[in-house]
């Protein structure tokens, strides 16, 4: 189930992380400013946030297999609609709808994984899952860069990569089953009494099979350590999407069609992919499932790397290894964050918790997009993205130790 879930999610970001590569072409053809396109990018992030809070709960109620497959199909179609946009509205409306379709992937897939693996193995499992997401960023960056290299216009960035997502969704629906017992295996032991292990507390209520959606949401939102974790991932996601959307703009430069540095941006998602694997392993084996320590350490190092990137010229040879490390430490905590959901809330509420946490993540990310676009446009300096990323990472690093206290 892990490999099949990873395979499907490997293609999800081809439907939402290609936007940064299209920005220079959209600006040239449609005459839209960077700050305006920042709002268009934010529209997807906010509808994704809303969808997470809904689809995580639906994953708990109905299982993740159907939702994840349907989201892949819908996202492919909506990306094609974006490719025919001729104005801010005709770009933003289908792009925002695509955010909801994309939200049908992560939390439902996370619920499937929590049904198949116990707490002691989840750091590694979620690390592998997040590695697939990081690899999906590599794929999105590589295919987008290749399209520009082939001298195709920006519209093809929304048409070709998402065909892979369509294939992934179909394969997932055929192969995956929501629970071990659907394939004749014994279900995992009940973990209701283990919820809250990260913080050393026991749940106030034990989840039941007929627990209502309202009861799940109420329990999740009343857990103070979960709320702190959600705020921390909010700042981490502001940094992450600041990098994913605006680093391509930084390395494409003004002469984006003939840029010699556009391939350097690929170091970012490569670092992100391996950071996820490393933090998942560290949280299980070195920190003994103490996720908060890994999160705080990685975000502090991400802030330091981002500061160094700010002072480095675009074409400096150190840019590639330093950008790789920035991606490694910024994205790495993701696997620890997602493992916290079943750890703090119990497996029966993992989908709801993942959805709520991801809602925090994408609300914050959406706030960062127009801010970064406005700052870059006001100062004419794309490297300022790294200064904003450093501030967000440092804030996340400071508050994350309180998850355990």
The per-residue DSSP string of 138-182 comes to HHHHHHHHHHHHTT--GGGGGTSTHHHHHHHHHHHHHH--SSGGG
**Does the pLDDT value for residue 200 go beyond 50?**
no
Angle at 346 between CA 345 and CA 350, to 5 degrees: 75
Domain containing residue 291? 2-177+217-403
pLDDT band at 207 (very low <50, low <70, confident <90, very high): low
pTM of the model: 0.79
pLDDT at position 190, please? Answer: 63
pLDDT band at 258 (very low <50, low <70, confident <90, very high): low
Domain contains 30: yes
Domain contains 204: no
What is the spatial distance between Cα 236 and Cα 106, in angstroms, rounded to a whole number? Answer: 17
Q: Say if residues 232 and 388 touch (Cβ distance below 8 Å).
A: no
Q: Say if residues 9 and 71 touch (Cβ distance below 8 Å).
A: no
Region 352-371: mean pLDDT is 89
pLDDT band at 23 (very low <50, low <70, confident <90, very high): very high
Nearest CA-CA partner of 24 in 280, 259, 200, 194: 259
* Alpha helices in 222-318, H assignment, sequence order: 224-252, 267-281, 291-310
Q: Say if residues 295 and 336 touch (Cβ distance below 8 Å).
A: yes
Residue % of the chain over a pLDDT of 70: 92
Q: How many domains does one find in the chain?
A: 1
pLDDT at position 64, please? Answer: 87
CATH assignment at residue 348: 1.20.1250.20
Domain contains 207: no
| Lowest mean per-residue pLDDT among 36-50, 173-187, 369-383 | 173-187
Q: Say if residues 140 and 18 touch (Cβ distance below 8 Å).
A: yes
Domain contains 205: no
Region 6-24: mean pLDDT is 92
Q: Say if residues 315 and 67 touch (Cβ distance below 8 Å).
A: no
Domain contains 113: yes
Q: Residue 147 has which token pair?
A: 């399209």
pLDDT band at 238 (very low <50, low <70, confident <90, very high): very high
Q: Residue 364 has which token pair?
A: 């914050």
Region 329-357: mean pLDDT is 84
**Does the pLDDT value for residue 257 go beyond 90?**
no
Name all contacts of 23-31 with Cβ < 8 Å and 24+ positions apart.
23/245, 23/248, 23/249, 24/154, 24/249, 24/252, 24/256, 25/153, 25/154, 25/157, 25/256, 26/91, 26/154, 29/153, 29/154, 30/85, 30/86, 30/87, 30/88, 30/91
Structure confidence by residue, pLDDT tens digits, 310-321: 999 888 889 899
Region 196-211: mean pLDDT is 51
Average pLDDT, the chain: 87
Domain contains 304: yes
Which residue matches tokens 């936007």? 19
Spell out the residues 6+ positions from residue 36 whose beta carbon is closer than 8 angstroms to its own: 88, 373
**Does the pLDDT value for residue 261 go beyond 50?**
yes
Instruction: Look at residue 60 and give its three-state secondary structure.
Output: helix
pLDDT at position 393, please? Answer: 97
Domain contains 117: yes
Domain contains 189: no
């Amino acid at each position: 189930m892990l490999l099949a879930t990873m395979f499907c999610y490997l293609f999800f970001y081809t439907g939402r992380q290609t936007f940064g590569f299209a920005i220079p072409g959209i600006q040239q053809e449609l005459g839209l400013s960077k700050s305006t396109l920042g709002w268009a990018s934010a529209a997807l992030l906010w509808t994704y946030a809303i969808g997470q809070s809904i689809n995580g709960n639906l994953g708990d109620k109905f299982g993740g297999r159907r939702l994840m497959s349907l989201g892949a199909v819908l996202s492919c179609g909506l990306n094609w609609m974006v490719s025919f946009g001729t104005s801010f509205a005709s770009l933003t409306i289908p792009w925002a709808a695509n955010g909801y379709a994309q939200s049908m992937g992560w939390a439902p897939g996370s619920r499937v994984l929590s049904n198949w693996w116990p707490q002691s193995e989840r750091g590694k499992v979620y690390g592998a899952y997040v590695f697939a997401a990081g690899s999906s960023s590599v794929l999105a960056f590589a295919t987008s860069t290749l399209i520009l290299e082939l001298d195709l216009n920006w519209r093809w960035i929304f048409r070709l990569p998402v065909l892979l997502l369509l294939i992934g969704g179909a394969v997932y629906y055929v192969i995956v089953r929501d629970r071990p017992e659907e394939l004749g295996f014994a279900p995992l032991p009940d973990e209701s009494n283990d919820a809250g292990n990260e913080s050393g507390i026991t749940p106030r209520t034990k989840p039941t099979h007929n627990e209502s959606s309202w009861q799940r949401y109420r329990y999740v939102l009343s857990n103070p350590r979960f709320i702190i974790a959600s705020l921390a991932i909010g700042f981490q996601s502001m940094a992450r999407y600041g990098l994913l959307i605006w680093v391509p703009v930084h390395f494409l430069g003004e002469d984006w069609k003939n840029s010699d540095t556009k391939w350097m941006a690929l170091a970012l998602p490569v670092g992100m992919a391996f950071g996820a694997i490393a933090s998942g392993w560290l949280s299980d084996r070195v920190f003994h499932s103490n996720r908060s320590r890994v999160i705080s350490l990685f975000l502090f190092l991400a802030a330091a790397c981002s500061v160094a990137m700010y002072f480095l010229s675009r074409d400096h040879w150190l840019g590639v290894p330093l950008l790789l490390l920035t991606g490694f430490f910024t994205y790495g905590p993701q696997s620890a964050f997602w493992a916290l959901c079943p750890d703090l809330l119990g497996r029966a509420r993992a989908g709801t918790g993942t959805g709520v946490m991801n809602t925090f993540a994408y609300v914050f990310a959406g706030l960062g997009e127009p801010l970064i676009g406005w700052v870059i446009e006001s100062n004419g300096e794309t490297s300022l993205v790294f200064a904003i990323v450093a501030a967000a990472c440092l804030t996340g690093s400071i508050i994350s130790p309180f998850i355990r206290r």
